[in-house]
Every structure is written in structure tokens, then in C-alpha cells.
């Protein structure tokens, strides 16, 4: 366990409307999450640009992922943390 709480892993994901997904975690929690703020950077461009690619979302390594190697940390999803790119951008602006 870390300062956030127990580590969680994604057990299931279901694409919804737009960039929203329903994520089921290994602790039994279910969350509807809008992935739009997380889909930034070159690795996410094909996912943002093509709804078919976005909907090809799968589970890999305990989190959501796509065939091009893009993934999102399960702790970011569960705890609603800022993605790493956002934190780095904010740090660069200060």
C-alpha cells in the first residue's frame, strides 16, 4: 500500500459514448471515466483521431491499453490523478 491507498488493477473496460469508458477494478469498484484529458501526446493521436481505434481498448498489465502500446496507469484512473504529461507541463510553466 502506498500513500494513496491500495494499488488497484483494472479487470474490465467497456467503451461508452465519446471518450468515456466504464472501468471495473479488482476491488469491485466501477467507475465511469472520461478519458479525454488523458489522451494527449503522439502515442494517443491515433486513438483520439479514430473512434474504431479508441473502441479497441483492452486490458493489459492490469490497466487499459491499446495495440499501439498506449496505456494509462490504473492508479491515475482509480484515484482521479493528473496524468504525467499534465504534471510535467505544469512544472515546466513554473
Give the tens place of pLDDT for each residue, 37-93: 999 999 999 999 999 999 999 999 999 999 999 999 999 999 998 876 665 555 666
- DSSP letter assigned to residue 15: E
Q: What is the pLDDT of residue 87?
A: 58
Q: What is the pLDDT of residue 93?
A: 64
Q: What is the pLDDT of residue 82?
A: 81
Average pLDDT value for residue range 2-31: 91
> Is residue 2 predicted with pLDDT exceeding 60?
no
10 or 92, greater pLDDT? 10
Q: Which residues does 2 contact at the CB level (< 8 Å), separation at least 6?
A: none
* Domain topology for 10-93: NE0471 N-terminal domain-like (3.30.2020)
Amino acid at each position: 500500500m502506498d500513500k494513496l491507498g491500495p494499488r488497484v488493477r483494472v479487470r474490465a473496460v467497456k467503451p461508452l459514448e465519446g471518450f468515456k469508458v466504464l472501468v471495473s477494478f479488482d476491488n469491485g469498484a466501477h467507475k465511469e471515466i472520461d478519458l479525454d484529458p488523458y489522451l494527449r501526446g503522439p502515442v494517443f493521436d491515433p486513438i483520439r483521431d479514430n473512434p474504431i481505434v479508441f473502441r479497441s481498448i483492452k486490458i493489459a498489465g492490469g490497466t487499459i491499453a491499446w495495440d499501439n502500446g498506449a496505456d494509462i496507469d490504473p492508479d491515475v484512473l482509480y484515484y482521479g490523478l493528473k496524468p504525467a504529461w499534465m504534471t510535467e507541463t505544469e512544472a515546466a510553466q513554473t
